[in-house]
Amino acid sequence: MDVYMRAGDSLWYYSQLFRTPLQLIIDSNRNLNPQLIALGERIRIPGYAIQRYQIKVNDSLWSIARQRNLPLDALLLLNPTVNPDYLQIGQTINVPLRVTWRLVNGKQNYDYETMRNDLQRLLTIYPFLQVSSIGNSVLGNELPEVLVGRGDKRVHYNGSFHANEWITTPVIMTFLNDYALSLTNQHTIRGVVTSLLYEQTILSVVPMVNPDGVNLVLHGPPGEEPYQNNVVEWNSGSMDFSGWKANINGVDLNDQFPAEWEREREDNPKTPGPRDYGGERPLSQPESIAMADLTRRRDFARVLAFHTQGEVIFWGFENLEPPENEVLAEEFGRVSGYEPVRTVDSYAGYKDWFIQDWRRPGFTVELGLGTNPLPIAQFDEIYEEALGIFLAALYL
């Protein structure tokens, strides 16, 4: 919601007027110096939408404000051209509406466009979120990163490395929505004071690492050649892509990282296909390159890659993980009911590379149980299990 600076106003005054944390207002207006705001400057107020209201018989701004538990000045601020002494029946005014509901609907086939639309909606209501592109997929789809928070500890979550594990994306997006909702409404999530998380951490999220693959699983082959013919051929002529994990080039993005890549390649396919082909060399795909570049640039304290399925938390790699990995994994297991597992006979994954090169905590979290892609009917259960992990990774 936008308001425009009047004489005598300040960001602190707006925080009191709309009962919104001052820091969130400051962070929603990063282009402005809070001490030097010009009259008429647009100010973004997070956590609100504008509702249009039509004046009825006996209405006044005062009565409307009282009915909606709003300060009268909130209506005056949003209606600078309205004369409060001469309201006309049928006239429309702006009324601030506090957002207390989710914008993200995760219980649907969640493709790339749905994610992009939801990100724009979140950014409109919660402008303290920062959204930028870290690169592009093979088909040119931007890979968005969302940042939230202002602390020193940098934590990273990602989803949909594997195409048919796309349910990880709406799970992550729902957490982003709930986190922002709790911040603006100043309530806790499972007893966790999220305002403290905001002050102490910066959360980086890449909700969909493999958008081309996700769209392939959900909608079938793209119209572009040679990709259309290639994926059908690599899928043995079948138009059922439910078993597809790779990107649109037939490369498994979670077998793309320089962490014993050669060992992973030994027993895996040597040509493109739906799964397990790690490419001709590490970091050959634009999506994996973008993730590697982001990780180097951000210098994360810990990373969590969300996959499906198995209800397990993989937390080790070649005995290179720090001691705190096990402690964190045990806590993640406690709050989710998932089983912490140190390692499996697998290499070249994102968390493997992070542990190897940074010697910091890295985790692969396998959400849910069943056959990928997991049915959307599992969404609520999966989210409740994952929520404890999302929170614990920030507060520990």
Distance CA 155, CA 383 (A): 19
3-state secondary structure of 166: coil
Instruction: Please state, in angstroms and as integers, the Cα–Cα distance from residue 284 to each residue in 227, 262, 271, 277, following that order.
Output: 17, 14, 14, 12
A 10 A CB-CB count for 207 gives 28
Active-site residue, 350 included: no
* Overall size of the chain counted in residues: 396
Distance CA 131, CA 306 (A): 20
Distance CA 70, CA 62 (A): 9
State pLDDT tens for residues 98-116.
Answer: 999 999 999 999 999 999 9
- The closest alpha carbon to 368, from 306, 317, 288, 309, belongs to 309
Active-site residue, 347 included: yes
Is 112-213+282-395 a CATH 3.40.630.10 domain?
yes
State pLDDT tens for residues 230-244.
Answer: 999 999 999 999 999
Distance CA 160, CA 50 (A): 34
Tokens representing residue 311 in the block: 């209800």
Is 2-98 a CATH 3.10.350.10 domain?
yes
Catalytic residue among 347, 350, 383, 385: 347
Report yes or no on whether pTM surpasses 0.85.
Answer: yes
Beta bridge partners of residue 366, listed in sequence order: 307, 312
- Helix H or strand E encompassing 15: helix 11-17
Strands (E), 88-240: 92-98, 130-136, 142-149, 153-159, 201-206
∠ Cα 160 164 170 (to 5°):
50
Tokens representing residue 316 in the block: 């080790």
Catalytic residue among 145, 165, 321, 366: 366
Half-sphere exposure of 337 (CA within 13 A, CB side): 11
∠ Cα 179 181 185 (to 5°):
120
3-state secondary structure of 254: helix
Residue 302: what pLDDT? 98
DSSP structural state of residue 189: B
Q: What pLDDT tens digit does each residue of the chain (396 aa) get?
A: 999 999 999 999 999 999 999 999 999 999 999 889 999 999 999 999 999 999 999 999 999 999 999 999 999 999 999 999 999 999 999 999 999 999 999 999 999 999 999 999 999 999 999 999 999 999 999 999 999 999 999 999 999 999 999 999 999 999 999 999 999 999 999 999 999 999 999 999 999 999 999 999 999 999 999 999 999 999 999 999 999 999 999 999 999 999 999 999 999 999 999 999 999 999 999 999 999 999 999 999 999 999 999 999 999 999 999 999 999 999 999 999 999 999 888 999 999 999 999 999 999 999 999 999 999 999 999 999 999 999 999 999
The whole-angstrom distance between residue 327's C-alpha and the CA centroid of its chain comes to: 25
Residue 160: what pLDDT? 98
- The closest alpha carbon to 32, from 16, 56, 52, 9, belongs to 9
Half-sphere exposure of 321 (CA within 13 A, CB side): 22
∠ Cα 253 288 362 (to 5°):
85
- 75 contacts 64 by C-beta, under 8 angstroms: yes
Beta bridge partners of residue 96, listed in sequence order: 50
Domain ranges of the chain: 2-98, 112-213+282-395
Residue 344: what pLDDT? 86
Strands (E), 89-177: 92-98, 130-136, 142-149, 153-159
Beta bridge partners of residue 144, listed in sequence order: 133
